[in-house]
Amino acid sequence: MVADRSRRRPTWWPGATGYEVYLRSFADSDGDGVGDLPGLTGRLHHLAELGVDFLWVTPFYGSPMADWGYDVADHCSVDPTFGTLDDFDELVERAHALDLRVVVDLVPNHTSDQHPWFLSARADPEGDHRDRYIWRDPAPDGGPPNNWISHFGGSAWTLDEASGQYHLHLFLPEQPDLNWRHPAVVEEFDRILRFWLERGVDGFRIDMAGTLFKDRDLRSNPQVADWDPAQPIWEQWQAFEHRHDVLQPESLDIFRRWRAIVDDHDGYLMGETFELDPHGMARLLPGDGLHGGFWFAPMHIRWRADAIRRVLVEPTALLGDRLVWATGSHDIARAPTRLGADAAGRQRTLALNVLLAGLPGVLVLYQGEELGLVDGDVPEGAGLDPVGATDGAAGRDGCRTPMPWSQGPANGFTTGAPWLRSAERQPEETAAHQVGRRESWFGHYQRLLAVRRQVPDEPVDWIDGGEGPVVAYRRGVMHVAANTSDEASAIEVDADVTLEFATPGVALGEQALLLPPRAAAIWTTTGDEPA
């Protein structure tokens, strides 16, 4: 069954649902243990049947894989690990035939240290490529030029012994930051966008969208707590107020430039906008640059009604359609793991997605979320994430284990040895077991996405009073509610109610909707068909 796309609006992304494909772990076509483009093409029917509108594909470009593809050496190529340009063209053609859009990752903050530009910059400090990256002399004591730290821990500066200068890297040393004040960098990314748009892509997810520009004078950040490079990486990051290294306003001019390019192709720009203050998000998304940005706060909350209201109500009012909602990604433990790691975690994740599904903006599911997957079990010593190598607690291997398609060796992901070793999934966790079963996790998400297409384009009216365990709102005739409690709850409803979607156990009583623990529902009133 391919979902009905007849209700699309004039521009395709308002109210759309996306699906993040972590390509290395989605489907392997050739038995080398690594997911690839032909493998993804062969599984597109799974996404069409689920009912998503677009897939976001993580980087497949030429790369030495120091950060599994987010260290790009050639932005206009396909790494042989993943296939060829012809394979990419076939993916786009097949996706479009299934009415699926294709969004690809753009990685503009940095390149690989094996990129031709950086190889030239390092080899010739006086050459044309040097200023396309950020190099500085040491501080008077011989140390780094300022106190900036990497997202992956430790200093954001690495000394080049040959030239005596440091290069900046907000991530791995193998990922040198580009200098976005250099016109050649700006022009090159214009070319990269046009290259992929002309091959038929429908948009870009902008990796680390808030980090392009840095303070012109590279001033040190105010330090607000003790910093020790042996600390967990998140504690290191929080030891500073990031006033000068990220979220500089000049990035907005680049986003406006890209907007003009993609608008000619009806393309969508969504940013990885890691900003946990909704007003900060609003500054990143003024409406004339990126179409939308990921709102990460739902990935960083405890399961409490007040916390859920806090990350939903104000951002919705401020940003509306500019929000990209998600409960997980390839960079954080899966939502069912964070929210319980058992049946309760899966139920809470589904209930949270029900709340997100009725709100303005774009919803993105992470690969395997539709199967209710918790983090995979990676044996000790088998982890491959460079973050986990420095901070085991922050390692991302568990959320990146291969997709379980069927029962048996490697769960149908590959005929070879998977690139990332993990314990075999249980039969009930596989797509083969769940697809076609109404009461499976796949069945729940499939029905939820079908109902999401019917949400009226009306203002959000929060009807829960701001208190109690039930979080609820309405949009026109459609109502959405989730019970955050581990006890049953009830919500008063009109006499004339049609239940459009409900998690297991939800029941209509006399003018009351009965919600079991961690349950959610969507209903319409007065018998009217939603707009």
β-bridge pairing 323-325 and 101-106: unpaired
Nearest-CA neighbor of 54 among 464, 449, 489, 391? 449
Catalytic, 207? Answer yes
Q: What tokens were used for 468?
A: 């109690």
The 10 Å CB-count burial string (b at 16+, else e) for 235-250 is: ebbebbeeebbbbbee
Q: Are 19 and 54 in contact (CB under 8 A)?
A: yes
Q: Are 249 and 408 in contact (CB under 8 A)?
A: no
Q: Which is it for the CA torsion 43, 47, 53, 55, positive or negative?
A: negative
The 10 Å CB-count burial string (b at 16+, else e) for 65-98 is: bbbbbbbbbebebbbebbbeeebbeebbebbeee
Nearest-CA neighbor of 280 among 307, 252, 301, 304? 252
How does DSSP assign 265-277, residue by residue? TT-EEEE-----S
- Helix runs in 386-520, H state only: 386-390, 431-434, 441-452
Residue tagged active-site, from 36, 87, 272, 331: 272
Q: Determine the length of the chain.
A: 531
Q: What tokens were used for 137?
A: 């002399």
What is the C-alpha to C-alpha distance for residues 414 and 424, in angstroms, rounded to an integer?
A: 12
Q: Are 404 and 412 in contact (CB under 8 A)?
A: yes
How does DSSP assign 132-156, residue by residue? GB-EEPPPTTSS-SS--B-TTSSBS
Q: Which is it for the CA torsion 189, 191, 195, 200, positive or negative?
A: positive
Residue tagged active-site, from 207, 245, 397, 429: 207
Strand partners, 474: 461, 479
Catalytic, 198? Answer no
Torsion angle in degrees (nearest 10) through CA of 329, 332, 336, 341: 150
Q: Are 475 and 460 in contact (CB under 8 A)?
A: yes
- Helix (H) / strand (E) containing 206: strand 203-206
Q: Which is it for the CA torsion 175, 241, 238, 142, positive or negative?
A: positive
What is the C-alpha to C-alpha distance for residues 355 and 360, in angstroms, rounded to an integer?
A: 11
CA distances from 177 to 110, 116, 123 (A): 4, 14, 17
Torsion angle in degrees (nearest 10) through CA of 432, 46, 330, 304: -80
Instruction: List residues with catalytic annotation.
Output: 207, 272
